[in-house]
Amino acid sequence: MRILIANLGSTSFKYRLYRVEGGTESVVASGGYERVTDYADVIRQALDALVADGAVDEPSQIDAVGFKTVLGKDLSGCVDADDSVIAALEGFAAVAPAHNPPYAEGIRQFQHLLPQARLIALFETAFYQWVPEAATWYAVPKTWHDAGIRRYGFHGASHKFIAERSAELLGRDDVAKVARGLYTDGPREVAGAPLRVISFHLGGSSSVTAIRNGVAIGTSMGFSPQSGLPQNNRVGDLDSGALPYALKTFGITLDEAERVLTKESGLLGVSGVSNDLRDVRAAADDGNADAQRAIELLVHSARQWASSFLFDLGGLDALVFTAGIGEHNAWLRDAICRGLEGFGVEIDPKRNADCRGGEAVVSSDASKVRVLVIPANEELVLVREVQRKVAGCATCK
């Protein structure tokens, strides 16, 4: 089976073609385009490139196309990317303006250019379908909730991979099996003690998710990707009362305030230096107090969200760090885990320092809670879910 993964941004298109045979996924070809103004044109170019490179004899050999869609109005899960998905994306275009319109347009183009291929959308919200209902509500009138104002959660494919892989590394194949089959089987009970994991996805945008027996029970992101932890240039959590106050104080419009909160806030806004943590860290090391404050805010928020899940989890077996920042910054992992020995968390300084990307255990042998670094692999999750959906089974790898 040949599966094309299409990653569409506000001005970009990236693709990766996988061959799935005998339970093994291998990358056949990949490419991408920046400064995109015409998705139809670049998708045609990509299909032509796959033929020119010998990845396929003709585009019709592509069996399926997978899309890591973000947020749909009244729709989630792993579903066929048909007109209902386009309508769901467009229904929440104002909530995810950088993601939803490009994906809606991309699906339209693939419907036209690859009519024989099965198109599958895996929503980022899908991993949170089984979060307890109380954790999905804001304290707003029911009419607001019914209109779609609720907690959804994002980075679902990343956290789902952590649910699977952490269970494997911790010797809980029963839990890994539940996590792998989640979108086809739904949650299932497992025998024995529960496996309780907190996953830190720390990157350009960040989130913390609590996972019990392979299933998410809570996450830091809510209605939109602009929530939760401070992001690179997005505010994260903000008291709703601050918005009308800002409008009056600065004499700005709602659109202007939204631009500030989504483009000029987060690490960039607090540090005044950059939205790149490497630059912020360098400035902090040089004595920049604002940059140091931005780092401390990120660490505080990550710890605060992780601790908020402990009661619902009923304990903790593992902390996992993933995504670019989480995988490559030993100092950040140390800062988040510092002083938690009373909770059974003990980092091994050498193991942590030696891990700068790649899979590793960075906790000490005496640590009751394992601390793991697991590289993100969202595309692999998408490939496997597309395969399952096309095959119509819950037993595919």
CA 158, chain centre distance (Å): 5
Find out whether 276 is annotated in a ligand binding site.
yes
Find out whether 239 is annotated in a ligand binding site.
no
Find out whether 7 is annotated in a ligand binding site.
yes
For residue 277, give every residue at least 6 positions away whose Cβ sits within 8 Å of its Cβ, in sequence order, or none. Answer: 232, 267, 295, 298, 325, 329, 332
Find out whether 326 is annotated in a ligand binding site.
yes
For residue 123, give every residue at least 6 positions away whose Cβ sits within 8 Å of its Cβ, in sequence order, or none. Answer: 69, 70, 71, 72, 75, 76, 77, 78, 79, 156
Contact between 310 and 316 under an 8 Å Cβ cutoff? The reply is yes
For residue 320, give every residue at least 6 positions away whose Cβ sits within 8 Å of its Cβ, in sequence order, or none. Answer: 162, 166, 197, 198, 199, 200, 371, 372, 373, 374
Find out whether 247 is annotated in a ligand binding site.
no
Find out whether 236 is annotated in a ligand binding site.
no
Strands (E), 193-335: 196-201, 207-212, 215-219, 318-322
Q: Distance (Å, rounded) from C-alpha 223 to C-alpha 121?
A: 20
Find out whether 251 is annotated in a ligand binding site.
no
Q: Distance (Å, rounded) from C-alpha 379 to C-alpha 68?
A: 8
Nearest to 390 by CA among 113, 1, 83: 1
Find out whether 328 is annotated in a ligand binding site.
yes
Q: Is 344 helix (H, G, I), strand (E, B) or coil?
A: coil
Amino acid in position 179: A
Pair of tokens at residue 266 = 């987060």
The Cβ of residue 338 has, within 10 Å, a number of other Cβ atoms equal to 12
Find out whether 341 is annotated in a ligand binding site.
no
Find out whether 99 is annotated in a ligand binding site.
no
Find out whether 327 is annotated in a ligand binding site.
yes
In the annotated binding site for ATP, the residues are 14, 276-278, 324-328
Specify binding-site residues for Mg(2+). Answer: 7, 378
Binding-site positions: 7, 14, 276-278, 324-328, 378
